[in-house]
Amino acid sequence: MPSESSTSGVGRVIAGRYLLLNRLGSGGMGHVWLAHDQRLACEVALKEIVFRDPAEAYEREARVARARAEARHAAGLRGHPHVVTVHDVLEHEGLPWIVMEYVAGAVNLRDLIEQRGPLAPAECARIGLAVLDALTAGHERGVMHRDVKPANILLAPDRTGAPYGRVLLTDYGISVQPDAGETRYTLASVLVGTSGYLAPERATGGAPTPAADLFSLGCTLYYGVEGRGPFDRESHLAEITAVVMEEPRPTARAGALEPVLRALLEKDPQRRMSAAQAEAALSRIVTPEVDAYARTQTDLGSQPHWGGAFRPPSGSPDGPHGPGSVTGQPGGPQGVRSLPEPPGGPQGLGSLAEQPGELQGFVAWPGGRRRTRPRVLHAVLAGLLGLALAGAGVWYAMAQESETDGTERPYGAAVGLGDPLTGGDCVLADWPGTAPFRGTPRLSLDPSCGAKAPDGQVMAFVAAASAAQAREEGPAACEERTEEIRGRLADVRSFAVVPTEAGFEAAGRRTACLVLGAHGPVYGPLGEHRKAGAAFADTATMQRRDCLDVRSHRDARLVSCEGPHDEQVLGFTRLGADVTLTEARTESDTACAREVPPREYGFDPSVYTAGSWTSEGSWKNGTHFVVCTVRKQNGGTMEGDEP
């Protein structure tokens, strides 16, 4: 069935007036075209609403209404120097088109940073002031933008010809005016926004507010000066989890902008920097004041490596079904399967089916089981996170330098290891307080790498010329070295064990890079340290694209995908907080078919079907994570020739 919008393009005339010249880009709701207004003989930009899939038809009314709301809200800010002007909204062949100002020579902030590198703090502050001015104008009218992010900030030459001198906020497509009594065009259980830029109170079901837009602005400015978002992770689920539960990554280039970013990214909206405070702080960075007594100037940090002059980019238009229990579709060839529960209870897995641009899922945060006392959430979030999010993130830690208790321990007395870590070492981690991944854990080895349900494993090393270099570069380098394996597992984090000054030589002059379970043990070896033919003790060690030999409903083995196998792991999802384990046995296959459909991985739906593995432990701790697989409908063996 074709899209409900026309598939024709260049040369088409819209509403008898606008000649489409070329496509400028695409977004969550459709395409943006450069068009020629034949009546006024000028160029404009047209936003076309597109339905890419027949399944989206049910959203038609809501999407059309959202488009009209975008036009209305943006038109209310007509003439603002930092908002893209909306001229009109019209209907053509039953769908709305938004007629907007065409900004010649513009590039969005995301693309600029990707092509040219991070901005200097002062330049980033200048952009922030302009966007803040636009947001404040909207807030004064009761309009919340709800999707402030680098891709929605345009930079273009100003009237003097200064490259990127003009700053414009665009795309009010999901904005809302809550005090006007207008219809909300999203379901109550659905979050709308961009995962790594969504305020924590919005992620936990709160209403859109000016403070939420300011949090998104903080994330955007962080991206501008650091070259990546403060909560960038491997998936949208991991990003939204980091927004709610974790502190932003430490800055490296922010200079004078760092305290502003920290204040804007405050998780408690009541303590977050206000618009007036942000304006004052950003203004001081753009035009630093000289202290008459100290005669010092605000540190603006380093300039971008591509120099001070901006240039437009070329071509710019300007369970096993898991330990304990397995879910299988009733009547399916595999039936209902289960594995014996490992010592200490199984570890859950988690992910969501993500859509680019907008975060469309809202799920409950589970209580994770750790070796230390139960995790205590930030007091402000405690009341909000009864139904929050599950996922994975990245945290760093460094060993303390000052405690050596008379010996040159490689990583200091706090870590406690007498010998340096080696590749593949499995470790147990005991955290010093009530919050895992905060502070320095005391580590011990698990030689069995399974019998004691290890918390994680050494997956890489980063060499350094000095202990100072290890402290400075080790954590970020470990994150990079473990990125691939973390992308294949559902619920792990990176952790850097950095040598002390006294133990630098004993540590082999290198930082050990761990991959630790985010909410509990991993129950066995990870990645390439696993052996072919080994039985899975828990779903926690199952990776994307693993191939499984299913010997019984309690016994699944890791095998090569080049030979015969029964199932292949495609990804992860989770079931709702109200779903019992008994219900999961009949629902998880359906959930995987919906959230991680095999057809999207190239499997013929007439031959293959979705399978799933669930862990009893994930129901005990409330995570409800599911491993999603693909298998043949007739129960036959997959022979290694699949996509």
Q: What is the pLDDT of residue 226?
A: 94
- Between helix 121-140 and helix 275-286 the angle, nearest 10°, is 150
Determine whether 355 is exposed, middle or buried from the number of CB atoms within 10 Å of its CB (0-12, 13-18, 19+). exposed
**338, 319 contact by CB (below 8 A):** yes
Look at residue 373 and tell me if it is in a domain: no
Q: Establish whether 531 is an annotated binding residue.
A: no
Q: How far is CA 206 from CA 174, 183, 211, 273, 322, in A?
A: 16, 17, 11, 18, 34
Look at residue 563 and tell me if it is in a domain: yes
Look at residue 383 and tell me if it is in a domain: no
Tell me how far apart the alpha carbons of residues 537 and 556 are, in angstroms, rounded to a whole number.
9
**536, 558 contact by CB (below 8 A):** yes
Tokens for 64, please give them: 């059309």
**479, 396 contact by CB (below 8 A):** yes
Give me the DSSP letters along 316-375: ----TT-BB-----TTSSS-S--BPPPTT-----------SSS-----PPPPPP-SSSPP
Residues 180 and 202 in one domain: yes
Tell me the chain's radius of gyration from C-alpha atoms.
26
Entry pTM: 0.47
Residues 225 and 114 in one domain: yes
Residues 125 and 249 in one domain: yes
Look at residue 20 and tell me if it is in a domain: yes
Q: What is the pLDDT of residue 389?
A: 34
CA nearest to 526, candidates 454, 628, 602: 454
Residues 69 and 120 in one domain: no
Look at residue 365 and tell me if it is in a domain: no
Q: How far is CA 486 from CA 89, 375, 490, in A?
A: 45, 22, 7
Look at residue 525 and tell me if it is in a domain: no
Residues 20 and 156 in one domain: no
Number of domains in the chain: 4
**415, 399 contact by CB (below 8 A):** yes
Residues 128 and 236 in one domain: yes
pLDDT digits (tens, 9 = 90+) for 297-327: 333 333 333 333 333 333 333 333 333 333 3
- Give the count of beta carbons closer than 10 Å to the beta carbon of residue 110: 17
Domain of 40, CATH number, reads 3.30.200.20
Residues 60 and 117 in one domain: no
> 101, 124, 147: which is the final residue of a domain?
101
Residues 165 and 275 in one domain: yes
Determine whether 208 is exposed, middle or buried from the number of CB atoms within 10 Å of its CB (0-12, 13-18, 19+). buried
Residues in a beta bridge with 339: 323
CA nearest to 145, candidates 200, 197, 73: 73
**567, 611 contact by CB (below 8 A):** yes
Containing structural domain, residue 595? 319-337+531-643
> 454, 488, 518: which is the final residue of a domain?
518
Q: What is the pLDDT of residue 601?
A: 84
Look at residue 332 and tell me if it is in a domain: yes
Tell me how far apart the alpha carbons of residues 568 and 558 are, in angstroms, rounded to a whole number.
10
Residues 117 and 259 in one domain: yes
Tell me how far apart the alpha carbons of residues 113 and 107 are, in angstroms, rounded to a whole number.
10
Residues 546 and 629 in one domain: yes
Which residue in this structure is represented by tokens 């991959």?
515
Residues 140 and 270 in one domain: yes
> 101, 133, 167: which is the final residue of a domain?
101
**276, 388 contact by CB (below 8 A):** no
**134, 281 contact by CB (below 8 A):** no
Provide the annotated active-site residues: 147
Q: Is 435 left (phi over 0), alpha (psi -120 to 50) or beta?
A: beta
Look at residue 483 and tell me if it is in a domain: yes
Residues 255 and 269 in one domain: yes
Q: What is the pLDDT of residue 621?
A: 64
Which residue in this structure is represented by tokens 């901006």?
310
Tell me how far apart the alpha carbons of residues 269 and 308 are, in angstroms, rounded to a whole number.
35
Which stretches of the chain drop beneath a pLDDT of 70? 1-8, 27-29, 50-76, 78-79, 172-193, 288-407, 434, 617, 621, 641
Q: What is the pLDDT of residue 297?
A: 32
Determine whether 500 is exposed, middle or buried from the number of CB atoms within 10 Å of its CB (0-12, 13-18, 19+). buried
CA nearest to 496, candidates 440, 419, 562: 440
